[in-house]
């Protein structure tokens, strides 16, 4: 593909050699004369000066060297993601049901759907148009998979789960397992039946070995466009909003509410019935106590989670403790000398 053609496909303008052939993408540091790279921040802007990339995706106000071939776009990182999909398209899967798959007689299969080897689909389920169910997947009874979904190998979806259009479920994730609900009687724990459901919105992506538990009563929900990293646990009756991003090894206890556009770092723990309001940010490793409310737009860090400024002040004070201890020891010594003189 030539630079001119790529710019036209992106709906953008280019400067430099529009006839240059491009064969792939690469990082700024390693890109060659036939590869595309992008300038996304100040650090990469400095590296771009010496980059050998054949074409750079740059912001509209890029003031870089005139000898470089560039395509000006509003959001270089987003444009680069689109370019990557152009050079490395998803492998096409031939529709059909593999001979080893087990599909109940009343399952509704949409046109162009693919059911891979040893997959199992239970009674009353519906599989959307052009949806791909990978090898070894288990789909329970009464499951709805929307159009264009991709289930990678060995995904498990329990009974009565609804998954919207364009969802991507990576290997090993489990949707609709029982929530962690028990009641105590005579010093013994008894299971509280988990009879609710799970509903997952359109264009949600759930990482490898992540778990989304069904509600005890009612529904566990994940909103449109939300992205969960690997090894994330969503407990029973959680409500995760739209366009939320959650990094790896984060856990949501039962009844947690995460509103729209929240960003959650890795290894965050959130206690039951806590609420995180829209556009808040939870720093990696922080802990949110049960029933705590994180206000809209707030950035919190630490355990227990507190506003970032407070957290940084605490860290600064901790760093001063050794000096403070030495000062206290010196004061004690001086006081002791004074007492001896009296």
pLDDT one-digit tens code per residue, 54-68: 999 999 888 877 788
Helix axes 321-341, 308-319, angle to 10 degrees: 50
Judgement on whether residues 122 and 20 belong to the same structural domain of the protein:
no
Domain end residue (candidates: 27, 62, 87): 87
pLDDT one-digit tens code per residue, 162-204: 999 999 999 999 999 999 999 999 999 999 999 999 999 999 9
Under the banding of pLDDT at 50, 70 and 90, the label for residue 45 is confident
Q: Measured between alpha carbons, how far is 168 from 165 in angstroms, rounded to an integer?
A: 9
Judgement on whether residues 176 and 293 belong to the same structural domain of the protein:
yes
Q: What is the largest CA-CA distance in the chain?
A: 99
| Number of domains, the chain | 3
Helix, strand, coil shares of the chain, percent, nearest 5, are 20, 30, 55
| CATH, residue 232 | 2.160.10.10
Region of 27 please: left (phi>0), alpha (psi -120 to 50) or beta: beta
Judgement on whether residues 76 and 219 belong to the same structural domain of the protein:
no
Judgement on whether residues 121 and 51 belong to the same structural domain of the protein:
no
pTM: 0.84
Q: Which domain holds residue 325?
A: 310-341
Q: Measured between alpha carbons, how far is 146 from 118 in angstroms, rounded to an integer?
A: 21
**Closest C-alpha among 243, 246, 188, 263 to residue 212:** 246
User: What is the residue whose two structure tokens read 């259009």?
Assistant: 165
**Which residues have a Cβ under 8 Å from the Cβ of 139 and sit 6 or more positions away?**
119, 120, 121, 122, 125, 127, 133, 145, 151, 157
The pLDDT score that the predictor gives to residue 183 is 93
Least confident of 66-75, 144-153, 166-175, 271-280: 66-75
Catalytic residues: 236
């Amino acid at each position: 593909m030539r630079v001119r053609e790529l710019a036209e496909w992106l709906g953008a303008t280019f400067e430099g050699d529009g006839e240059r052939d491009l064969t792939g993408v690469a990082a700024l540091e390693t890109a060659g004369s036939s590869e595309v790279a992008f300038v996304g921040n100040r650090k990469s802007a400095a590296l771009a000066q010496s980059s050998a990339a054949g074409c750079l995706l740059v912001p509209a106000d890029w003031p870089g060297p005139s000898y470089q071939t560039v395509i000006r776009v509003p959001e270089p990182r987003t444009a680069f993601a689109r370019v990557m999909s152009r050079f490395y398209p998803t492998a096409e899967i031939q529709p059909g049901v593999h001979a080893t798959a087990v599909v109940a007689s009343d399952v509704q299969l949409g046109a162009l759907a693919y059911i891979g080897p040893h997959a199992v689909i239970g009674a009353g389920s519906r599989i959307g148009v052009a949806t791909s169910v990978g090898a070894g997947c288990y789909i329970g009874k009464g499951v709805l998979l929307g159009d264009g979904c991709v289930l990678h190998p060995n995904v498990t979806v329990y009974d009565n789960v609804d998954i919207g259009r364009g969802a991507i479920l990576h290997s090993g994730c489990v949707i609709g397992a029982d929530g962690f609900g028990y009641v105590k009687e005579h010093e013994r724990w008894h299971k509280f039946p988990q009879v609710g459901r799970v509903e997952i919105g359109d264009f949600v992506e759930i990482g490898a070995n992540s778990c989304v538990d069904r509600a005890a009563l009612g529904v566990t929900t994940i909103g449109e466009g939300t992205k969960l990293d690997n090894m994330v646990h969503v407990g029973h009756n959680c409500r995760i909003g739209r366009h939320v991003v959650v990094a790896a090894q984060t856990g949501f206890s039962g009844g947690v509410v995460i509103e729209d556009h929240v960003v959650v770092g890795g290894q965050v723990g959130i206690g039951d019935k806590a609420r995180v309001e829209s556009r808040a940010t939870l720093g990696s490793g922080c802990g949110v106590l049960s029933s705590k409310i994180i206000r809209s737009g707030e950035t919190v860090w630490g355990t227990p989670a507190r506003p970032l400024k407070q957290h940084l002040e605490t860290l600064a004070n901790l760093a001063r403790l050794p000096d403070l201890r030495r000062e206290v020891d010196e004061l004690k010594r001086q006081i002791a000398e004074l007492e001896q003189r009296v």
